[in-house]
Chains A and B, each alone.
Chain A
Amino acid sequence: MEKVKKEISIIHPRPSSIVAALYTLRDLDVDVAILHGPPGCSFKHARLLEEDGIHVVTTSLDENGFVFGGHDELVALLDKVSEMFNPKLIGIVGTCVSMIIGEELHDAVLEANPDVPVIEVEVHAGYRNNTKGVLFALESALDAGIISEDEFDRQKVLLEEATIVEKRHGAASKEYLAPSRGDLKYKVAQRIIDLLKEGKRGITIMNAKKETGYMFADVTVAVNEVAKQLGVGSNIVNMANIDDTLGLPRVRHHAKCIAADFKERGIVIHENIGGMDEYPIAGDVAGKLIEEKYSDYDFVIITGVPHAIPMDCIPGMEIISVTNGPRQVLPMKEMGHDHVIVEIDLHPKTLGVNNIVESEFGATLREVAKDL
């Protein structure tokens, strides 16, 4: 019996495992996700996911459901969605209340007996790491024969790495992290332009988590456009995690779309550092490449999950990072990032799209460059 190292008690609100399970079901391309619980549970994300083309519905358990159980409601809803949406794949996600009262998702599935596979995820939001929700969803998908053992093992490793990254320098690194809007975008834009004007050489690294890449890619595009405008286009090296042979189908699709957009806009990605679900490990790949080939570059612009790039691979470089996590600012400043920018509300704008969308920082950079 070994005493586990006492974990810190984090008091700021954090991502939910239920929501993580929902997003994973989306990546698994379910047509309908059923939340078995109260009507308001996970509302904001349930709503957003509808933008991504999946139907999210709820059994809407009320006080009666809490007391008497929600088996009949779940069976009825399974029947209803089968009829309304004609789905090919259904997901069911537990909630705190349905798990506490011991609801058996499987019993309801057996009774409703829909003629399509159902991924049952017994999950609540009481886990320290929200990656648990992803893991449970993948385990159920494996049981239902939706993903292969190999893909499951691969994802499991990535989730463990993601949890470590968040604990080390991310939103799980401190008891309390105040949200911050980061540095002023136009000032940082000005700084990048100055660096380019001085003939300094820079690296862009897009290390994005799945669909968030649709917006982070815009920063890569903007930096290249401005460098080209200043006649120093060749001073920029681009890295991005857009390997379209890795991950679940939907994740590969994002990689394809973003790569196509890069190509159309004449952006050369010199180094493809991994799949779009490999953000916890692609940082190491980028770090190694820099050590081998680009160690004499002057500055680096990292977007997505910038804290996954090891600091000892980029010594002496000026670091500009772009995140969508307001609680990520302080940890990255402490790591030694010189400029940290937050793309507020990035995620909602990257759902349901197939093309790169404009980022606030990209727009700022272009605007400042216009006046040159």
Chain B
Amino acid sequence: MGDNRDDKMNDSKKPKIIAIYGKGGIGKSSTASNVAAACADEGYKVMIIGCDPKSDSSITLLGGKRIPTILDLMRSGVDITEDDVVFEGYNGVKCIEVGGPEPGIGCAGRGIIVAIQKLKKISKAQDECDLIIYDVPGDIVCGGFIAPIRKGLVSEAYVLTSGEYMPLYAANNICRGMSKINTPISGVICNARSVSREEEIVHKFAEEMGSDLIAFIPKEQIVQDCERDGFSVMERAPDSEIAQVYRNLARTIMSRNTSVMAKALEDERLRELTR
């Protein structure tokens, strides 16, 4: 770790800024935090920006602790500086939570818009990063949730799904939405739920919409066990098989520079695929 850092730095000065989209509850935050940790292990400077009002994206990088969110601080009327909202977690990963209103109140989408504008203004840490991960809420239900991409912050979008019908349906919708706003997809990740023919189904889905399946993450109890304790797999169980899967995914993401304008599948075709 660290030996070949300089080479990597020379690859490009600009940070890689990615977002992982997928159905709610499919494992975006787990995947994001494990990828963040794995990249940090490889010697990269990593930042994770949680854009979910639940503000739980970085919790497993911080030993189960919660950090103050940008919106909470803005609401209290304090002058916010970088140090108030950027916290170092596992292996130097910089963690930020946007925060948001209680469920059913106000407008979380607008919250994301103002928080990321604020962050852009006060934080220079982003310039020094090799990888920035925006962890966005499951469904892009309104304009605010797409703001990280629309505001030109995110350069690569990944889609996370299992082989089940509903997550695939959501993934397909996301692909359609991304194409509509001219944002290419950089790859599909399968977070397995142990359903039948899962890898084959997601592989086919990725292929037919024009991209690739770049990782298959098998369902392992150990991921849950680590999360329950407040840690990522990379930190709590670095020698596990699943840690190696995340490590490989991290390397794939860091070296990947292909992306395609996705072509969403017809509903009928999607159902056929999963039958």
Residues of A within 8 A of B (CB): 1-4, 6, 69, 99-104, 107
Q: Indicate if B110 sits at the interface (CB-CB under 8 A).
A: yes
CB <8 Å contact, A102 and B80: no
Assembly CA distance A99 to B114 (angstroms): 10
Are B77 and A69 interface neighbours, CB within 8 A?
no
* Beta-carbon contacts under 8 Å, B160-187 to A: 181
Report chain B residues within 8 Å CB of A2: 78-79
In the complex, identify which listed stretch (B49-57, B142-150, B240-248, B263-271) lies at the interface while the others stay far away: B142-150
B79-A101 in contact (CB<8A): no
* B220 interface hit (Cβ, 8 Å): no
Give how many A-B residue pairs fall within 8 Å (CB-CB): 40
Q: Which of B77, B78, B110 contacts A102 (CB 8 A)?
A: B110
Q: Are A102 and B144 in contact (CB under 8 A)?
A: yes
Report Cα–Cα, A107/B183, bound state, in Å.
12
A1-B73, A1-B84 in contact; A103/B79 too (CB < 8 A)?
Answer: no
Contact A102 B181 (CB under 8 A): no
Q: Name A111's closest neighbour in chain B (CB-CB).
A: B182
CB atoms of A3 and B78 under 8 A apart: yes
Taking a contact as CB atoms closer than 8 A, the residue among B73, B79, B110, B143 that contacts A69 in the complex is B143
- Does B77 lie within 8 Å of A4, measured CB to CB? yes
The verdict on A102 contacting B142 (CB below 8 Å), with A2-B79, A3-B78, A107-B150 known, is yes
Q: Are B73 and A102 in contact (CB under 8 A)?
A: no
Mark out the residues of chain B between 35 and 81 whose CB falls within 8 Å of any chain A CB in the assembled complex.
Answer: 73, 77-81
- Name the distance in Å between B83's Cβ and chain A's nearest Cβ: 8
> Within 8 Å of chain A (Cβ to Cβ): is B99?
no
Secondary structure of the B side of the interface?
A: helix
> Does B107 lie at the interface of the complex (its beta carbon under 8 Å from any beta carbon of A)?
yes
Closest A residue to B181 using CB positions:
A107
Contact at A101–B150, with CB atoms within 8 Å?
no
Considering the complex, give the chain A residue whose CB is closest to the CB of B83.
A1
In the complex, how many residues of chain B place their beta carbon closer than 8 angstroms to a beta carbon of chain A?
19
In the complex, the answer to whether B79 meets A1 with C-beta atoms within 8 Å is yes
Report Cα–Cα, A3/B76, bound state, in Å.
Answer: 9
Q: Are A102 and B79 in contact (CB under 8 A)?
A: no
Which residues of chain B are within 8 angstroms of A101 by Cβ–Cβ distance? 109, 142-144
Min C-beta distance of A107 to chain B, whole Å: 7
Point out the residues of chain A lying under 8 angstroms from B107, CB to CB.
Answer: 100
Contact for A100 among B78, B110, B146, B150, CB less than 8 A: B110
Given A1-B73, A107-B181: A102 in contact with B147 (beta carbons within 8 A): yes
Per-position binary interface string of chain B over residues 77-106, scored 1 when its CB falls under 8 Å from any chain A CB and 0 otherwise: 111110110000000000000000000000
Contact check: which of B77, B81, B84 meets A6 at CB < 8 Å?
B77
Question: Is B113 close to A, CB under 8 A?
Answer: yes
- Say whether A1 contacts B110, CB under 8 Å: no
Q: With CB as the reference atom, state the residue of chain A lying closest to B151.
A: A104
Complex contacts, A69 vs chain B, CB 8 Å = 143
A327→B81 CA distance, assembly (Å): 37
Distance between A4 CB and nearest chain B CB, rounded to angstroms? 6
Task: Give A37 Cβ to nearest chain B Cβ, in Å.
Answer: 14
Q: Which 7 A-B pairs have the closest CB atoms?
A: A102-B143, A102-B144, A1-B84, A101-B143, A104-B150, A100-B110, A2-B79
Interfacial chain B residues near A1, Cβ < 8 Å: 73, 78-81, 83-84
Report yes or no: B146 in contact with A102, Cβ–Cβ below 8 A: yes
A55 to B84, CA, bound (A): 45
Given A1-B79, A99-B113, A103-B143, 20 extra CB contacts under 8 A: A1-B73, A1-B81, A1-B83, A1-B84, A2-B78, A2-B79, A3-B77, A69-B143, A100-B107, A100-B109, A100-B110, A101-B142, A101-B143, A101-B144, A102-B110, A102-B142, A102-B147, A102-B150, A104-B150, A107-B181
Instruction: Say how far A67's CB is from chain B's closest CB, in angstroms.
Output: 9
Q: Which residues of A contact B113 (CB under 8 A)?
A: 99, 102
The distance from the CB of A243 to the nearest CB of chain B, in whole angstroms, is: 34
- Most A CB atoms within 10 A — which of B77, B84, B143, B144? B143
Q: How far is the CA of A258 from the CA of B147 in the complex (A)?
A: 47
Q: Tell me the minimal C-beta distance from B22 to chain A in angstroms.
A: 20
Q: Which of A6, A69, A101, A102 has the most CB of B within 10 A?
A: A102
Q: A102 vs B109: C-alpha distance in the bound complex, in angstroms? A: 8
Closest chain-A Cβ to B76's Cβ sits at a distance in Å of 9
**Which chain A residues lie closer than 8 Å to B73 at the CB level?**
1
* Listed A/B pairs (7) with beta-carbon separation below 8 Å: A1-B78, A4-B77, A69-B143, A100-B107, A101-B109, A101-B143, A102-B109
Nearest B-chain residue to A101, judged by Cβ: B143
B106-164: which have CB < 8 Å to A?
A: 107, 109-110, 113, 142-144, 146-147, 150
- The minimal Cβ–Cβ distance linking A166 to chain B, given in whole angstroms, is 20
Q: Which of A1, A3, A103, A107 has the most CB of B within 10 A?
A: A1
Which residue of the partner chain A has the closest CB to B150? A104
What chain A residues lie within 8 Å of B78 (beta carbons)? 1-4
Report Cα–Cα, A102/B73, bound state, in Å: 22
Residues of A within 8 A of B150 (CB): 102, 104, 107
Q: What residue of chain A has the Cβ atom nearest to residue B182's Cβ?
A: A107
Residues of A close to B142: CB separation below 8 A: 101-102
Neighbouring A residues of B110 by C-beta, 8 Å: 99-100, 102
When each residue 217-248 of chain B gets 1 if its CB lies under 8 Å from chain A and 0 otherwise, what string results?
A: 00000000000000000000000000000000
CB distance from A156 to the nearest CB of B (A): 15
Question: Closest CB of chain B to A45's CB: distance in Å?
Answer: 25
